[in-house]
Structure 1
Amino acid sequence: MRWLSMVLILVVAFGAAGCASKFKNYYGPKVTHVVVYKEQRKMHLLHHNTVLKSYDIDLGFAPEGHKQFEGDGRTPEGQYWIDRRNPNSAFYLSIGISYPNADDRAYAKSQGKSPGGDIFIHGQPELFKAGKDDWTAGCISVTNREMRDIYAMVKNGTQVWIYP
């Protein structure tokens, strides 16, 4: 009987551990838009005019100015949309920003260059060393704990405003 109790305890313990997940549920007000202030290194999730959550952020390794070309290390500025999700990101979890838009593509083409792409709001890689500021290739980064909340709260189609 004692042996059976120990087995049952182990099964329950392993079962509970298997339920741990990086995916959360969110039942609060809808996030209607995301606002990023690059200079202040802040990102806000809003329901209309009400700030639901605010986060400190890291940006591209060349944070000043609007992203124009592939590899420039800048984070875009302007109006975009959340257009995709990556639950298997190398940066924990990520949600895609619709950069480049038509204007971004046209400008880069006029200069004979690629505008780049793959701009995300994401967490941190597994072996991330704390204290590195503005380390991304143009993305917006938060902690993995914060990214779990953002991934649950922000849906595809959400408007994103990125200001200098």
Structure 2
Amino acid sequence: MANMTFFGNCSWLETQGNVQIQGKTVVAQIWDTGGQVRYPVITNGFYRGAIGAVVMYDITKHKTFENLDKWIRELKEKADNCVCIMIVGNKTDLMRRMVSTEQGRTLAEKYGSSFMEISALDSSDVGETFDKLLVDIFKIQTESEKSDSSSRIVLQENKGQQNQASHCGC
């Protein structure tokens, strides 16, 4: 279920869904700010408590790739200290590539992040991107859970039981 919210000229999309990972149901809430930067008070609210983030750039516009360092630095400063970041190159359906796949991979390695390329226009690899991010978050959180019994993700046993801990523990 998706909800579109508007604030002045700013809008964002919220969606929530369940994903099965290793026999458990992960409840995911996804916020898409569409790169809105005009209202920092609102965007700062998206960072608080985030345990996963997709930082996206346009493969046909090198400037958007150059801005990733700024976005990732801001994310690391304002989000949870164990936020799982995925770097995503968008618009693979277009022929005029200005950022190579290797450049994207190299940047992801620099930050210890996952990397994908997608086409939002034709939905190529979009679902796989979110699935991979959720699996990455799940791995981090379950490792954290093993070490100190804490987790920030909502896990539901297939029997319908729900468990949500209060902090990350990374």
Which of 1 and 2 has greater Rg? Answer: 1
Structure with the larger RCO, 1 or 2 (CA within 8 Å, 6+ apart):
1
TM-score bracket for this pair, using the shorter chain length: under 0.3
TM-score (norm. length: structure 2): 0.26
The structure carrying a bigger helix percent of its residues is: 2
TM-score (norm. length: structure 1): 0.27
